Structure 1
Amino acid sequence: MARATGWIGAHADEAAAELGRMIAVDTSFPPGLGYDDFATLMEELVAPLGFATERVAVPETLWRVPHGPASGPRANLIASRSSGRPACGLYFHVDTVPAAPGWETDPLRMERDGDRLIGLGAADMKGCIAAILLALRAADACGVELAYDPVLLFCTDEEGGLYPGIRYLAEQDLVPAHVLNFNGSAEARIWAGCFGLFNVLVRIHGQTVHAGEGNRKGGGLNAIEGALPLLNALTVLKARIATRVSTLPPPPDKPPLTAQLNLAAIRGGTAGGQVPALLELTLNRRYAPEERFEDALAEIEDVIRRSIATVPGLSVETVLVGHLMPTADPGGPHWPRWQAAMCAGFGYAPEAFRKWGAASCSDFGWVQRATGRQEVLLGGLGRPDRNVHAPGEYTTIPDIISLAQAVLAYLAADFRPDLNPDLPSKQS
């Protein structure tokens, strides 16, 4: 173990180079067109480690909706090797959010600034893949016996998709009972669960005419102007929703977690010479575990119907285009060992750990529902200053090294056997 820990530090630049290759594959969702290409890259990187791979596509009937944002095959990749040890799933979502305006560098070309590795998905969560591959190479290079057979799960559409890949894999009984999810933080955190979210596409239809005829009787119907009562009503609803406080514990020194409604995207019109006939609005609703999805959706749909009815001639259609269930308390018997591994990798003191949830969301609520299993371990490279989902997203070489060392410790047979609930003596 000591030699392997040093090996990780000595080969971190190789992991950084692989992260650069991952960032260069555009897997932004929506639309999610790069999943096949990313699976090909992962197959290349895991083959020298002796992993067999299988691609599992989510059937189009489960995620395709009229005018929805997703397109292209939803290619999930499972990489495994079996020696008869208990399986440990290592989960990654391969999609990123689209690059927002404001990047000062090419978001799909990793830039290195000292220890900083800057690029779209560097922290969330392609850097985690680089770290875990580094840990597995160290184990092989230094002869570290593992307590578990790792099963790598490279999954699609976590960033608000309608049918995330891990949901489909869980429903097909392809997800191990024991899973490390790297969609989280590098902080000393015990995960308490998280909110759910859903995205609704609202399409408001007017009538196009020449813009010079727009002010005359019968001169078209401006969908953008007609949507103003709806936008105002949604702003009122947003404030009302924000008063709903969850009992989920917030991060340390942060205010209580509350429900949220965001007007996330808006598109309408084509040119100055036309009265716009279509406005598309995407709403993002983050709902607390105490709320029912059906009630939250019905509340929004009611506001939409009542607002559009005030503008004669307008019509509206709504479609659900994304949904992640809340994740219930994911505690279980493996958490003490994972906390000890985080201490070994990142240097945290055991007493530094705090338990909190988040209004950010996970696709593991679907796993809990599909399998009936609650425990999900959480780690990752997220930190408050890493610009996750924003221009300039980055991770660091030290954090990649620390996460690799934590994962190596967790998987190693001789690390804290007293905390391994899968040993025969523990099971008896």
Structure 2
Amino acid sequence: MNGGVSGLGEAEAFSMVDVLKGEAVDLLRELVKIDTVVPPGRGYGEMVEFLEPIFSELGFKAERVTVPEEKVRAIPLPLEGRRVNLVARREADRPPLTIYAHMDVVPVEEKWSVPPFEGVVRDERIYGRGVADMKGFIAAVIVALRVMHELGLKPNYDLTCVMCTDEEVGVYPGVYYLTDNGYVRGDVICGEMVHGVIGVGFAGSVHFKVTVKGRSAHTAMWWTAVNAIENALPVLEEVLKLRERVTARRSEVPTIPTPLGDRLTPVFSVNVISGGVKDNVIPSECKFIVDRRYIPEEDEEQVISEFVEAVEAGKAKSKALSVDVDALRVYKPFKTSPEAPIVRRLAEAVKHVTGSQPAFIGVAGSTDMGYVAQKGRDVAIMGVGDVASNFHGADESIKIEDMLTYAKELIHLLCFQRT
């Protein structure tokens, strides 16, 4: 165990976290005000400019790492600006550990009851886009590191903190590049999800875009045309037959109970369909997009091949001139065990600080940690949100207490936990 160079104990460190409550809230409010909405994601440079001196002040060596443009071009969205990631490292000749957060947030769609980019505090909650996913975790990490720095507490790890780009859009987010180039070291703690729940499984994600081509004509000249919408129907029918087979599969990963049970299941949803330009013009094109979330036990290549086979079966029943499939590999699946060392250490820290054992569940959402895990890193995933946080929705919020509690758990894990 580590009592710090001045002999101060854990109780003093936890007390200091509470003293820094106002500073933590102010910090999170500043993070929320920085526009890192993706797409377009043009605000990464501003966020790094804000965070870099903070980490330097806390004794870390900070480095900016930009994802090469040719990698970014794989993301089929209207992105703007350089994809600048921050890597902050503090070496102490100890085992390596990486703390991960993404800087980007999703756009605001619905009307909010408060301004979404101001960090409004109400009833001991702070409201703002990204406070739960996942700028609140960034604030918790900085508070923990500040307490450690002020009290002279020495971590039991060589710490690397990575603040990353484009998690919310996937395909090739910043942490992929950092992982591929050796910046991610040792086990990883990721601040996604809710507090007190450790994620042990996430779905992989492939987006399928199907384009059905026909031939247009005036409706009165119907016999000269090939109606793309009507000839997309046999294709859709075969795709939906595949959905019935796919959604019968089950993972070993436990999840919150749904109408399909308490095990993680694949998700297969036709989310976008478009076709036609005018009511008296027979359409020459129809497109639909399927969001396919696959469980960790499924194979990505098989997921793609079985979808293509279903489309081909539908095409054989259709008079369409052509049917094309574009598969976009968005995220890799993630699976871990409650017995993985870093998961056990995070769970013990939660129990130590709160007195309650965390839950271990999987969700059908996706994360860039699947790629990191496939590259050989053990990952523990837990965030600062709760069931009322409304991730990605209107009035996204977190309890301020949960942010401070997570800071204490990090201090315990990094400095006081037996290794």
Shorter-chain TM-score above 0.5? yes
Q: 1:144 to 1:305 in 2, by over 3 A?
A: same
Unpaired runs of 5+ residues, structure 2, are 1-9
**Pairing partner for 2:117 from 101, 104, 108:** 108
User: TM-score, normalising length from structure 1?
Assistant: 0.83
Unpaired runs of 5+ residues, structure 1, are 421-428
CA distance in structure 2 between the partners assigned to 1:25 and 1:266 by the alignment: 34
Q: Structure 1 counterpart of 2:348, which letter? A: A
Match of 2:303 in 1: 296
Residues 1:135 and 2:140 aligned together: no
Q: Structure 2 counterpart of 1:348, which letter? A: G
1:81-135: per-residue Cα shift (whole Å, max 9, x none)?
2343433210012223333435444433433222122222111111100111111
Partner of 2:140: helix, strand, or coil?
helix
Q: 1:78 to 1:104 in 2, by over 3 A?
A: same
CA distance in structure 2 between the partners assigned to 1:219 and 1:23 by the alignment: 57
Partner of 2:85: helix, strand, or coil?
strand
CA distance in structure 1 between the partners assigned to 2:282 and 2:162 by the alignment: 48
Residues 12-411 of structure 1 aligned to structure 2 (within 5 Å): 12-65=21-74, 68-69=76-77, 71-72=79-80, 73-189=82-198, 191-205=199-213, 213-217=218-222, 227-251=232-256, 255-266=262-273, 279-308=286-315, 310-330=317-337, 331-345=339-353, 347-349=354-356, 352-370=357-375, 372-373=376-377, 375-411=378-414
CA distance in structure 2 between the partners assigned to 1:14 and 1:280 by the alignment: 50
Q: 1:188 to 1:325 in 2, by over 3 A?
A: closer
Q: Structure 1 counterpart of 2:125, which letter? A: R
- Tell me if the contact between 1:63 and 1:70 (Cα under 8 Å) persists in the aligned partners: no
CA distance in structure 1 between the partners assigned to 2:110 and 2:223 by the alignment: 39
- Tell me if the contact between 1:203 and 1:316 (Cα under 8 Å) persists in the aligned partners: yes
CA distance in structure 1 between the partners assigned to 2:35 and 2:370 by the alignment: 26
Partner of 1:88: helix, strand, or coil?
strand
CA distance in structure 2 between the partners assigned to 1:221 and 1:25 by the alignment: 50
- Tell me if the contact between 1:25 and 1:37 (Cα under 8 Å) persists in the aligned partners: yes
Q: Structure 2 counterpart of 1:380, which letter? A: G
Q: 1:308 to 1:100 in 2, by over 3 A?
A: farther
- Tell me if the contact between 1:201 and 1:280 (Cα under 8 Å) persists in the aligned partners: yes
Q: Structure 2 counterpart of 1:89, which letter? A: T
CA distance in structure 1 between the partners assigned to 2:390 and 2:192 by the alignment: 15
- Tell me if the contact between 2:351 and 2:358 (Cα under 8 Å) persists in the aligned partners: no
How many residue pairs get matched?
A: 406
Partner of 1:362: helix, strand, or coil?
coil
1:33-61: per-residue Cα shift (whole Å, max 9, x none)?
43333323322443322332222233333
Partner of 2:46: helix, strand, or coil?
helix
User: TM-score, normalising length from structure 2?
Assistant: 0.84
Q: 1:320 to 1:29 in 2, by over 3 A?
A: farther
1:270-302: per-residue Cα shift (whole Å, max 9, x none)?
777977665554322111122111111122223
1:228-247: per-residue Cα shift (whole Å, max 9, x none)?
44445444433332211112
- Tell me if the contact between 1:18 and 1:130 (Cα under 8 Å) persists in the aligned partners: yes
Q: 1:119 to 1:309 in 2, by over 3 A?
A: farther
CA distance in structure 2 between the partners assigned to 1:208 and 1:322 by the alignment: 32
- RMSD over equivalenced CA pairs, Å: 3.1
CA distance in structure 2 between the partners assigned to 1:219 and 1:393 by the alignment: 53
CA distance in structure 1 between the partners assigned to 2:372 and 2:250 by the alignment: 25
1:323-371: per-residue Cα shift (whole Å, max 9, x none)?
22222325433443322221233x133xx3443333222322222322x
- Tell me if the contact between 1:92 and 1:153 (Cα under 8 Å) persists in the aligned partners: yes
Q: Sequence identity of aligned pairs in percent?
A: 31
- Tell me if the contact between 2:226 and 2:319 (Cα under 8 Å) persists in the aligned partners: no
CA distance in structure 2 between the partners assigned to 1:214 and 1:23 by the alignment: 52
Deviation at 1:314, TM superposition (A): 4.9
- Tell me if the contact between 2:38 and 2:79 (Cα under 8 Å) persists in the aligned partners: no
Q: Structure 2 counterpart of 1:304, which letter? A: V
Q: 1:36 to 1:4 in 2, by over 3 A?
A: same
Q: 1:42 to 1:204 in 2, by over 3 A?
A: farther
CA distance in structure 2 between the partners assigned to 1:45 and 1:226 by the alignment: 58
CA distance in structure 1 between the partners assigned to 2:86 and 2:167 by the alignment: 14
Deviation at 1:164, TM superposition (A): 2.6
